[in-house]
Amino acid sequence: MIKRDDIDLVINSSFSYRHVEISMAIMDAGKHCLSEKPFAQKVADVDMLIKKAEEKNVLLTVFQQSRFVPWFEQVKSVIGSGVLGRIFGKLL
């Protein structure tokens, strides 16, 4: 996937102990990287990731999936009910 020219951003949702290794490979390929929490297990690794992002001039960020928390389930339910009208874009 990281070798494809038509992909600009890769989401790293691998096992936590592989986040650093995979995020580095993503950025080495010149892709923006969105990594699931935890970013890394050591502060030194976080510093290394930030340095790589700066060197490669790519975006690097971390996220925590929320699809199973109660408020997220409510949002999905409201959107699915149609009460808000037609939704033109969503990432759920």
Whether 38 maps to a domain, the answer reads: yes
Domain of 34, in residue numbers: 9-65
- Tokens read off for 27: 């950025």
pLDDT given for residue 44 in this prediction: 97
Which CATH number do you get for residue 28?
3.40.50.720
pLDDT given for residue 90 in this prediction: 52
Whether 28 maps to a domain, the answer reads: yes
Q: What is the mean pLDDT of residues 26-45?
A: 93
Q: Can you say whether residue 17 is alpha, beta or left, with left for phi > 0 and alpha for psi between -120 and 50 degrees?
A: alpha
Whether 48 maps to a domain, the answer reads: yes
Per-residue pLDDT tens over the stretch 42-92 = 999 999 999 999 999 999 999 877 667 788 788 888 888 989 888 766 554
Whether 90 maps to a domain, the answer reads: no
Whether 79 maps to a domain, the answer reads: no
Whether 52 maps to a domain, the answer reads: yes
The whole-model pTM stands at 0.70
Q: What is the mean pLDDT of residues 17-39?
A: 94
